[in-house]
Amino acid sequence: MDMTGITFAVLASVAWGLVYTIDQKILGLMSPLAWLAISSLIAAIITLPVLFLHQEEIKAVFQSGRNNVLLMIGTQFLIVLATLFIFSAIKHLGAVTANIFEITYPLFVVIFSLLMFGGRISLSFGVGALFIFLGSLIIIKFS
What are the domain boundaries of the chain? 3-102
Q: Please report, in tens digits, the pLDDT of each residue of the chain (143 residues total).
A: 789 999 998 999 899 999 999 999 999 999 999 999 999 999 999 999 998 999 999 999 889 989 999 999 999 999 999 999 999 999 999 998 898 888 878 778 878 888 888 877 788 888 887 887 788 788 777 87
Contacts of 39 (CB under 8 A, 6+ apart): 83
